[in-house]
Structure 1
């Protein structure tokens, strides 16, 4: 298992911590995925329509799956957990986003890597900073720490959640 990958996990419907735990259990159950570091859980303001705050974390993993195969697995987990596509940036029981896949860059109708907006989102960068501060994502000249320090949008509220996994 050679490809180091980072996923962003989020939930703002139902038992949010349990939703994150369940998604991680599904990932661990896949023999082609090896789960690595898990960040702390952060409570974050939602992007888009007004809704309940999200709980977010970032998970490092390794896999032999291609980016497209991994994306399919993530969508299957979301479906098993009851996620329904509604409005963009709307509430969701679970959201699994493929943020970085090793040193790969990819642009396809299904997937863009690195994730096209990860570097603008505190709810991704703050937990990623915790587990990979010196990582320089493919296509970026700055580390995760440097990218995080550049974010100045006061509307993006991110705080450590009182409960952890």
Structure 2
């Protein structure tokens, strides 16, 4: 049997009740085939990365353990986005749900459909802060500690924890 792999998925939404979208997606991640949800970060509010003519985003990170291959997991994540009504109209535009495979174990992948670790994650506070909250001892495959990367971006005022 394929061994379990620790993976991290970034979640974001800024349309159609984004808090509910992210919470429902976090629950759904635990129901993916051959996958269990280990933990999830708190919810964060962040300004849009691209065009500013859209609402703020709700973000989180989930820690999963899966037996799915990276591409099989990507297919499941994209199917979940579709079930949430994801429509890709413009790059960095508004969306009901965005799921990004951030880390797949210690693997480094450069495939036509998937790059892992996520190529933009080290520059995004809305990824690093919830990831460091979730797994403070985590290191990227190149050995860089996530907590140190997150603290370098933590002074930014473009992200805050959503009050509970």
Q: Aligning the two structures, in what range does the TM-score lie when normalised by the shorter sequence?
A: over 0.9
Please give the alpha-carbon distance, in whole angstroms, between the structure 1 residues aligned to 2:133 and 2:29: 21
Please give the alpha-carbon distance, in whole angstroms, between the structure 2 residues aligned to 1:59 and 1:96: 10
Please give the alpha-carbon distance, in whole angstroms, between the structure 2 residues aligned to 1:30 and 1:40: 21
Q: 1:15 aligns with which of 11, 14, 17?
A: 17
Q: Mind listing any 5+ residue stretches in structure 1 that lack a counterpart?
A: none
| TM-score normalised according to structure 1 size | 0.92
Residue correspondence of structure 1 range 1-165 to structure 2 within 5 A? 2-50=4-52, 51-139=54-142, 141-151=143-153, 154=156, 157-163=158-164
| TM-score normalised according to structure 2 size | 0.93
CA displacement 1:127-165 (0-9 Å, x = unmatched) = 0010112211112x32011111233784x61101023xx
Deviation at 1:28, TM superposition (A): 2.0
Deviation at 1:22, TM superposition (A): 1.8
Deviation at 1:88, TM superposition (A): 0.6
Deviation at 1:64, TM superposition (A): 0.3
4+ residue segments displaced more than 3 Å: none
TM-aligned CA distance change 1:144 to 1:79, over 3 Å? same
SS in 2 for 1:8: strand
Please give the alpha-carbon distance, in whole angstroms, between the structure 2 residues aligned to 1:68 and 1:153: 35
SS in 2 for 1:103: coil
- Check conservation: 2:129, 2:154, Cα contact below 8 A: no
